[in-house]
Amino acid sequence: MSSVLSGFATAYKLPTKFSALITPSYEDNSIVTGEDIDMPIPFTVVNGVLNINVNQSADIQAFVNSGTEPLSRANIQAKSFGGEKPVTSLGPDMVTYLRNWINQIESIGSAYTGPLVTYIQPLMTKVQIVNPSFAVSNSGAFERDRSWGITTEPPVSSEYIGGKAANNYYTAWIFKTPLTVQYTAGSGFKYITFTTQFAEE
């Protein structure tokens, strides 16, 4: 009897749902050749240290080095991949990015050298992204928002979730709970907060 119930409990699960991802993002034109794609900032979490993977592409390196303001939404879809990791400190590339961004915000003329305090420590979780090249097509190609498709050519693996080690198989760390960083501004403090949410399309 218990095996029947456990079998039923295992089977009674909803299918995976993909949703639009609203998370700190940057623009990258090397993910899909010749096309600007809004991608989640490639955060990493190792032993409680939150960092940015600047080796993912030249575009993320430029984003970090210039201290560019993040985009507020990645124009992609993703599903929850699971797992949680707490953040206790910031890694060197994350610190470099924040200092360069603060310099842009405050117009202080040089990289911000004051303290960066992790005011609210986040929990990070992983998502898997629909392959950015898997775009809606008017030519009858299989579309993300349909459950079937007819094409004149067979689909290739790059039209689904795929990827390789270099792009972490289209997985990304996002904020399950917010991160807030405190920095000194004049005689007071300012706070930078990062969050993530899923949105219905």
Query: What is the per-residue pLDDT across 105-157, written as a single tens digit (0 to 9) for each?
Result: 887 777 788 999 999 999 999 988 876 655 434 344 444 445 555 566 665 54
Residue 43 included in any domain: yes
Residue 58 included in any domain: yes
Place of tokens 């300012």: 190
Mean pLDDT (the chain, rounded): 79
Find the domain containing 99 and state its range: 19-135+156-199
Residue 95 included in any domain: yes
pLDDT digits (tens, 9 = 90+) for 44-66: 999 999 999 998 889 999 999 99
Residue 145 included in any domain: no
Residue 143 included in any domain: no
HSE of 57, CA atoms in CB hemisphere, 13 A: 19
Number of domains in the chain: 1
Residue 87 included in any domain: yes
The order of strands in the sheet holding 171-175 is 89-90, 49-52, 43-46, 171-175, 123-129, 74-86, 19-22, 197-199
pTM equals 0.78
Residue 131: predicted pLDDT: 64
Residue 148: predicted pLDDT: 57
Residue 172 included in any domain: yes
Residue 41 included in any domain: yes
